[in-house]
Amino acid sequence: MNKPATPGASVLRSRLILLLAVLVPAGFAVLTGNIWEDFFITFRCSLNLVHGHGLVYEAGRTVHAFTSPIGVLLPAGISWVLRTDDPQAVLAAFRLIACLTLGGAWALVAGRTQGVVALALAAAFWLLDVKLAAYATNGMETAFLVFFVMLAWRALLDRRVGLAGLALGGLMWTRPDGFVFVGTLLIAVTFFPGESRLGWRDWARTIGVGAAIYAPWILLAWWYYGSPVPNTILAKGVQMFDVATLKAVLRYPFAFVFGRNVAHEAFLPPYYFFGGWPGQLWWHGKLLALAAAAAALWPRCARPARVAGAAFVLGGLYLTVTPAAPWYCPAWQVLAYVAVGGGVAALWDWPRLSRPGRLVTGAVATGLVLVQAGIFVSVSAQLRVQQRVIEWGVRREIGRELHRAARGPQDTVFLESLGYIGFYADLAMRDTPGLCAPEVVALRRAGNRSMGGLIAALHPDWAVLRVSEYAVFTPAELASFQRDYGLWAVHDVRSEVNAIAWLPGRDFLLFDAYYTVWRRQPPAAP
């Protein structure tokens, strides 16, 4: 039976898991040195704020070029306190705060998870989730997002709607789509009300408190940028809500159960879609997703697990309409881990489960944990190489070369990889999809979405292209581009990547292993 342990053993176990919840992501960060590319986009805004140029990516252009208020203000505060512009020094302090925050998120989960089996299994998946470790420590706001999601889950379970409103406000300061997480949890709690059902007043109070907390930022952004909507959302929104997305939403229930779905991919390696991973790995994600959904549907499961499972299933629907990016997943994944732990615990204690049934249950659960551990180790190896060879060896060097060769900070650079290159070049960047460039967003909304077409319309001084991006120019785009631009530099580390004997997910690195840099030529004399 799933009996409670003695108080002393329970406290010791809880403290050990809490310590691991802090140390595992910290260890991942030290081992891999992984820094998310978009951290450098946000950090450039942070430094401009610290140096009095405004909360902008490029001085003199009032563009809302970041998504998370916490994600930009916290590095700015760290930079100001430490009196340094060094991104690695600032990120070290950011990582420490993020790891402690992640520990706090786990403490919220542990305090509401019932039974040794549920706690142990949820902890195993949580600690071995490489996406959680990576995106909590590489400069993203993930640790804060997970903390506020679990605070909302805990508060709504206990019907502490004021605290749930605080969590909603914190989520909105963390991400503009933070309301989606609280909304799914409110719906899930309504499905599984416990002793008393939330009424419309509870919903109103939760939303009201959250809105009051977030209102200062909305008003400030509206006044400063002319719109409360970040330019990053406008840029990414161009590719959302098309016919294909609508079809995926309508197919979601069927695909969740019988087919392949983005909710299954949440548990796979961060860049699984690039290839280079065993195809059978997809079953790991599907089994976890189905287990979370089953926990939500099974009345024997504890209410906290059912609420978490229902929220995860609803979250999968949201993941269907957002761009296919792995950093959207961790806050939904941790809800699934709570549900899976609760579901296995309920099954383990089910009187009708025979001894062979327990053996099968234990074997499947253990197998899933081992696969999770294998993914953690493999992705750690992948991102360690990626950081050294691609980020430091290619993209940072391209940025430095551009900075040295440019005529001045007014030189414009067109590219997709804005983070490292843009930060170290410190020039006027014109990126696609337009995270820091409203003119690119306008062109894309008008239907000009090819890189060749955007370059022809923008006339940048420089163009940085992956070889795969250059290869898809139409004949007309290619003729125009070759007339106006000359090849200036090539960065090709494909042989170095291919020479590494064991490199899981190699295709992700190869995607960024070959860049060409082009310089605009002066007009020919008549």
What does the pLDDT read at residue 9?
58
Q: Spell out the long-range contacts of 475-480 with Cβ–Cβ below 8 A and sequence spacing 24 or more.
A: 477/450, 477/452, 477/453, 478/452, 480/452, 480/456
SS3 assignment, position 514: strand
Average pLDDT over the chain, rounded to whole?
93
Q: What's the rounded Cα separation, in Å, for the pair 202 and 197?
A: 9
Residues 6+ positions from 190 with CB-CB distance below 8 Å? 197, 198
Given pLDDT bands bounded at 50, 70 and 90, which one contains residue 245? confident
Tell me which residue of 89, 309, 81 sits closest to 191, measured CA to CA.
309
The DSSP output letter for 6 is P
Strands of the sheet containing 428-431, edge to edge, are 428-431, 412-415, 462-466, 514-520, 485-492
Instruction: For the chain, state the CA radius of gyration.
Output: 24
What does the pLDDT read at residue 374?
98
- At 426-481, the pLDDT tens digits run 999 999 999 999 999 999 999 998 999 999 999 999 999 999 999 999 999 999 99
In the predicted structure, residue 176 carries a pLDDT above the cut 50? yes
What does the pLDDT read at residue 413?
98
Q: What's the rounded Cα separation, in Å, for the pair 208 and 206?
A: 5
What does the pLDDT read at residue 1?
44
What does the pLDDT read at residue 240?
54
- At 10-63, the pLDDT tens digits run 677 788 899 999 999 999 999 999 999 999 999 999 999 999 999 999 999 999
Angle at which helices 330-348 and 87-110 cross, to 10°: 30
Tell me which residue has tokens 């159960």.
257
What does the pLDDT read at residue 228?
87
Alpha helices in 83-199 (DSSP H): 87-110, 116-127, 130-137, 142-157, 161-174, 178-191
Average pLDDT over residues 479-493: 97
Q: What's the rounded Cα separation, in Å, for the pair 64 and 380?
A: 33
SS3 assignment, position 488: strand
The answer to whether 137 and 23 have CB atoms below 8 angstroms apart is: no
Q: How far are the Cα atoms of 123, 135, 207, 331 from residue 128, in angstroms, in the given order?
A: 8, 13, 34, 14
What does the pLDDT read at residue 239?
54
SS3 assignment, position 462: strand
In the predicted structure, residue 523 carries a pLDDT above the cut 90? no
- At 186-220, the pLDDT tens digits run 999 999 987 778 888 999 999 999 999 999 999 99
Instruction: Give, in degrees to the nearest 5, the angle at Cα 131 between 421 and 98.
Output: 80
Q: What's the rounded Cα separation, in Å, for the pair 50 and 83?
A: 10
Average pLDDT over residues 279-307: 96
Residues 6+ positions from 274 with CB-CB distance below 8 Å? 505, 507, 508, 511
Given pLDDT bands bounded at 50, 70 and 90, which one contains residue 8? low
What does the pLDDT read at residue 5?
52
Given pLDDT bands bounded at 50, 70 and 90, which one contains residue 85? very high
What does the pLDDT read at residue 249?
86
Q: What's the rounded Cα separation, in Å, for the pair 497 and 388?
A: 11
Q: Spell out the long-range contacts of 430-436 with Cβ–Cβ below 8 A and sequence spacing 24 or more.
A: 430/458, 430/460, 433/235, 433/236, 433/238, 433/239, 434/231, 434/234, 434/235, 434/238, 435/41, 435/65, 435/231, 435/232, 435/235, 436/41, 436/57, 436/58, 436/61, 436/63, 436/65, 436/231
Alpha helices in 5-68 (DSSP H): 7-32, 37-50
